[in-house]
Structure 1
Amino acid sequence: MFQAVIFDMDGLLGDSEPIWQEVAIDIFKTVDVPLTVEICQEATGLGTAEFVKYIHTRYPWRHKSCDQIGEEILALAHERIGAAAHEMPGATELIRFFHSLNIPLAVASASPMNIIESVLERLNLRSYFTLWHSALLEARNKPYPDVYWGAARLLGVDPAACLAFEDSGNGLKSAVAAGMLTVTVPAAYEYNDPKFDIATLKIPSLLHFDQNIFDTLLKKLA
């Protein structure tokens, strides 16, 4: 049996990715950077600081520091996500499935702890999770494995005996590098991108996860 199941959050449990994109576009307007949804999608899965640096390499701006832009994005995202995020299809059912098996559940996210907690509260999922962990508490953010290693360490489990769920390419790299079996649930616009081929399994929605898939993954664990 798996010792733990660890979930990404943005774009996987909650539909917060579009909100992050809207916030980033609004904040970057203040420094005249013509950010688009497509540019945001290129950096899906990065932490806020890494995302801001990525945009700065493409559109150097003046008058505000990268740190200031990042702080403004986080503040506005916390406000909007806490008020507007909705559950991704199948999220609650899947979490209840694993919870019924008494498998410890955790979140490993690039978002800060206050936003993780806001989303779990809004989606009424907090009580199912043993813990949640932010990559901002580790030395490196995704795509490095630190946040998944950190979650496993806090749970007291072996990363190789964990199952991780991710929706982004950068997040998937993080979980694979941590040595976990992985299920990736890419967005429709990039579902066929080969960057997701490193996953143990790829599905179009959490709704597609069923007992047969779980049994197949258990065999791979053995």
Structure 2
Amino acid sequence: MTRSIPFDAALFDMDGLLIDSEPHWQDAEIAVYAPYGVPVTRDLCRATAGRRIDEVLTLWHERFDWTGPPVEVMVHRVLDEVTRRILDHGEPLPGVHETIDRLRCLGLKIAIASSSPHALIDAVVEKLELGGKIDLTHSGVDEPQSKPHPGVFLTTARRLGVDPARCLVFEDAPAGVAAGKAAGMTVIAVPSVFDHDDPGFAAADRILDSLEGFSTAEWVE
């Protein structure tokens, strides 16, 4: 008997889900803003995890009455620093390759749908040697609005030629969970910098400690 699964595609967030990049994002943001005396903290970084970096820095500049270089300049500085740190020290999170391989074996298309810019997505794909396993990548920088808006997931599904209702989303942040659900997709939350009991995960269809806990058995018909 042929085994099937009620999904045609799996859409993966990237930072904090596929690679342990969230601490490196925090280190980069803190390091870039430190010379300007801006009190960027890890708690502040965690609170904005999952959002596009240009939106995050715009919020900070408004909050701290910024008089330094414009957002565009600071975005490039943060991205240069975080890319360097991730390429030097980033590691795949548990279960990444196994989960993708199992879903590919069931015939699902695989995509990365991340708020990070294209260059960083490409760097992580190369770092984790995922190039042969990913059908496409899509960056939230190409969307008018970032997560929790569903645009990044809806565009990814359209580019894959897949009905959003047939997409399985893996996310580590509440903003991403909200985006996936708003897109009409099934969402599995794998919290990284957020607590499992964060209210933002209540809408998820499943909550896992890591991708190692994902099983296709409950979905296979």
TM-score bracket for the superposition, by shorter chain length: over 0.9
The CA distance in 2 between the partners of 1:145 and 1:68, in whole Å, is: 27
1:159 and 1:189, CA in 2 relative to 1: closer, same or farther beyond 3 A?
closer
**Equivalent in 1, 9, 14 of residue 4 of structure 1:** 9
Structure with the largest fraction of helix: 1
Quote the residue 2:89 is aligned against: 84
- Cα deviation per residue 1:142-199 (whole Å; 9 max; x = unaligned)? 1111110111111011111100000001111111111100000112651111110011
When the two structures are superposed, what TM-score results if normalisation uses the length of structure 2?
A: 0.93
**Equivalent in 39, 45, 51 of residue 56 of structure 2:** 51
Quote the residue 2:167 is aligned against: 162
AA matched with 1:187: S
Quote the residue 1:134 is aligned against: 139
Quote the residue 2:22 is aligned against: 17
Aligned-partner SS, 1:106:
strand
Instruction: Tell me if 1:149 matches 2:154.
Output: yes
When the two structures are superposed, what TM-score results if normalisation uses the length of structure 1?
A: 0.93
Quote the residue 1:184 is aligned against: 189
Quote the residue 2:214 is aligned against: 209
Q: Does 1 or 2 have the higher relative contact order (CA < 8 Å, sep 6+)?
A: 2
Moved more, 96-105 or 55-64: 55-64
Aligned-partner SS, 2:14:
coil
AA matched with 1:122: K
Contact 1:7 1:164 in 2 (8 A): yes
The CA distance in 2 between the partners of 1:106 and 1:194, in whole Å, is: 27
- Cα deviation per residue 1:2-34 (whole Å; 9 max; x = unaligned)? 110000000000001111110000111122111
Specify every segment of 5 or more residues in structure 1 that has no aligned partner in the other structure, as ranges: none
AA matched with 2:40: L
Deviation at 1:212, TM superposition (A): 3.3
The CA distance in 1 between the partners of 2:147 and 2:15, in whole Å, is: 13
The CA distance in 2 between the partners of 1:30 and 1:131, in whole Å, is: 38
Contact 2:173 2:194 in 1 (8 A): no
Contact 1:31 1:62 in 2 (8 A): no
Moved more, 78-87 or 31-40: 78-87
Aligned-partner SS, 2:132:
helix
Aligned-partner SS, 2:92:
coil
AA matched with 2:146: N
The CA distance in 2 between the partners of 1:80 and 1:6, in whole Å, is: 25
Q: How many residues align?
A: 216
The CA distance in 2 between the partners of 1:57 and 1:186, in whole Å, is: 28
Aligned-partner SS, 1:133:
strand
The CA distance in 2 between the partners of 1:23 and 1:91, in whole Å, is: 24
